[in-house]
């Protein structure tokens, strides 16, 4: 019985330490692009905040950008994104990524929203990114300067 407790305690400490090791490698701002032709090409941006909120934005070629508020969790090397429901709109199924060589490699996604081939591999953007406290008030991401979120939608300015 005593040995079993020692083994359980050792395993718990080991798992906690390995999870922290992956969390240290997780950056706050990721970007990726892909598509085999202009019609399906897009740039995908993901910003993660300390409080578990995030903003996922997809900019298709010659189409308006799509932005989703999501919540993220990290379990070992697996990053899970759960989409926040929006009244009157369908909610995409959760997406998962694997943290590999500092990049987020897509594993599972809702093809109706993120494409049949899925999102591109997302790589850290910029050198030192500072994690925001929360992204719940963001409307869009500005990928020209990854300093946080934009509180307004640039498409509203054109009206």
pLDDT digits (tens, 9 = 90+) for 40-90: 788 999 999 989 999 999 988 888 889 999 999 999 999 999 999 999 999
Q: How far apart are CA 103 and CA 118, in angstroms?
A: 15
Phi then psi dihedrals of residue 18, to 5 deg = -70, -35
Give the distance, in angstroms, between the CA of residue 69 and the centroid of all CA atoms in the same chain: 10
Q: How far apart are CA 139 and CA 86, in angstroms?
A: 13
Confidence of residue 149 (pLDDT cuts 50, 70, 90): low
Average model confidence (pLDDT) across the chain:
75
Q: Where are the domains of the chain?
A: 2-157
Domain range 2-157, CATH class:
mainly beta
Say what the pTM is.
Answer: 0.70
Question: Tokens 């399906």 belong to which residue?
Answer: 40
Q: C-alpha distances in angstroms, 2 versus 10, 73, 107, 116?
A: 12, 34, 40, 52
Higher pLDDT, 144 or 157: 144
Q: How far apart are CA 112 and CA 132, in angstroms?
A: 29
């Amino acid at each position: 019985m005593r040995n079993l407790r020692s083994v359980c305690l050792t395993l718990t400490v080991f798992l906690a330490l390995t999870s922290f090791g992956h969390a240290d490698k997780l950056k706050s701002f990721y970007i990726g692009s892909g598509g085999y032709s202009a019609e399906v090409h897009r740039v995908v941006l993901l910003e993660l905040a300390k409080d578990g909120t995030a903003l996922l934005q997809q900019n298709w070629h010659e189409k308006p950008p799509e932005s989703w508020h999501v919540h993220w969790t990290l379990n070992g090397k697996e990053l899970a994104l759960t989409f926040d429901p929006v009244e009157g709109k369908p909610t995409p199924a959760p997406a998962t990524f694997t943290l590999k060589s500092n990049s987020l490699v897509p594993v599972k996604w809702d093809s109706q929203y993120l494409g049949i081939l899925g999102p591109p591999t997302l790589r850290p953007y910029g050198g030192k990114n500072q994690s925001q406290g929360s992204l719940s008030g963001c409307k869009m991401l500005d990928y020209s300067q990854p300093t946080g979120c934009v509180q307004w939608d640039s498409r509203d300015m054109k009206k």
